[in-house]
Homo-oligomer: A and B are copies of this chain.
Amino acid sequence: MKATPAERTKGVCSPPSIPLPAVRVDASVEILKALADPTRLQMVGVLKRASEPVCICDFTAAFALSQPTISHHVGKLREAGLVEVTKSGIWAYYRLARNLDVRTRAVLDALV
């Protein structure tokens, strides 16, 4: 009925522990989902290296995707709070958000 290779008992082996607060997990998941796409990760890489805000038209030229798809991706990044947009005339310029928290910045430094 039971087998104890170490000192395990019934169904639950060791007391379950959930160390991370749910609100923090949700925040991290939102960032991770925003970054978990090749195009968006490349975009963040470009923005992280750019010394000035980058025009959307640069992305449409660089990424072999339709213009609505490009707009969709930068919108996702903006919803996640990763980028900021400033509009000047016809153009829309994007840059990395300047108030990224420490953990998000660490993720970006590690990956892009």
Chain B residue at smallest Cβ distance from A59: B16
Q: Which residues from chain B contact A14 at a C-beta distance below 8 Å?
A: 54-55, 58
The 8 A CB mask of A76-104 against B (1 = contact, 0 = none) is 00000000000011110000000000111
Interface band, chain A: 35 or more
Interface SS of chain A: helix
Given A8-B91, A90-B3, also A110-B112 (CB < 8 A): no
Residues of B within 8 A of A16 (CB): 58-59, 61-62
Question: Judging by beta carbons under 8 Å apart, are A29 and B20 in contact?
Answer: no
Which chain B positions have C-beta within 8 A of A11? 57, 61
Using known A-B contacts A18-B62, A46-B19, A106-B109, determine if residue A32 contacts B35 with beta carbons closer than 8 Å: yes
Q: Which of B12, B61, B104 contacts A61 (CB 8 A)?
A: B12
State whether A36 and B32 are in contact (beta carbons under 8 Å apart), knowing that A106-B109, A107-B107, A109-B106 are contacts in the complex.
Answer: yes
Q: Which 7 residue pairs spanning A and B have beta carbons closest together?
A: A16-B62, A106-B110, A32-B36, A13-B55, A33-B36, A12-B61, A103-B110
